[in-house]
Chain A
Amino acid sequence: MTSAKEWPLFEVFIRSRNGLSHKHVGSLHAADQDMALDNARDVYTRRGEGVSIWVVPSAAITASDPGDKESLFEPTANKIYRHPTFYPIPDEVKNI
Chain B
Amino acid sequence: MTPAQTETARDADMPDDTLAALETRRLARFQARVDADEKIEPVDWMPEGYRKTLIRQISQHAHSEVVGMLPEGNWIGRAPSLRRKAVLLAKVQDEGGHGLYLYAAAETLGVTRQEMVEQLLAGTAKYSSIFNYPTLSWADIGAIGWLVDGAAIMNQVPICRCSFGPYARAMQRICKEESFHQRQGYEIMLHLSRGTAAQKQMAQEALDRWWWPSLMMFGPPDGESQHGAQGMAWKIKLVGNDELRQKFVDVTVPQADYLGLTMPDPDLRWNDATGHYAFGAIDWDEFKRVVKGGGPVSRDRMKARRKAYDDGAWVREAALAHAAKKRARRAQLADAG
Contacts and interface: CB of A to CB of B under 8 A. Distances in A.
Interface of A: 1-7, 9, 25-29, 31-32, 34-35, 42-43, 46-47, 63, 65-67
Contacts of B316: 4, 7, 31
Nearest to B4: A66
A35 B112 CA distance: 20
Contact of B326 (A1, A32, A42, A63): A32
Interface in B59-108: 90, 93-94, 97, 100-101, 104, 107
A42 B113 CA distance: 19
Interface stretch (B155-163, B264-272, B317-325): B317-325
B187 interface: no
B4 A46 contact: no
B121 A28 contact: no
Contacts of A63: 3, 43
Interface of B: 3-4, 6-7, 41, 43-45, 90, 93-94, 97, 100-101, 104, 107, 112-114, 118, 121, 169-170, 173, 177, 309-310, 313, 316-317, 319-320, 322-323, 326-327
Contacts of B43: 63, 65-66
Given A28-B100, A65-B6, A66-B44, 13 more contacts: A6-B112, A7-B320, A26-B169, A26-B170, A32-B322, A32-B327, A35-B323, A43-B97, A46-B93, A46-B177, A63-B3, A63-B43, A65-B43
B118 A1 contact: yes
Nearest to B170: A26
A5 B320 contact: yes
Contacts of B7: 67
- List of 7 A-B pairs having minimum Cβ-Cβ separation, nearest first: A32-B323, A31-B319, A31-B323, A65-B3, A27-B104, A66-B43, A31-B320
A31 B107 contact: no
A4 B313 CA distance: 8
Nearest to A27: B104
A47 B91 CA distance: 12
A63 B41 CA distance: 13
Contact of B121 (A1, A7, A25, A42): A1
Contacts of A2: 313
25 contacts: A1-B309, A1-B310, A4-B317, A4-B320, A7-B316, A7-B319, A9-B107, A25-B173, A26-B169, A26-B173, A27-B107, A28-B100, A31-B320, A31-B322, A35-B323, A43-B100, A46-B177, A63-B3, A65-B43, A66-B3, A66-B41, A66-B43, A66-B44, A66-B45, A67-B7
Contacts of B319: 7, 31, 35
Contact of B114 (A3, A34, A47, A66): A3
Nearest to B321: A31
Contacts of A26: 101, 104, 169-170, 173
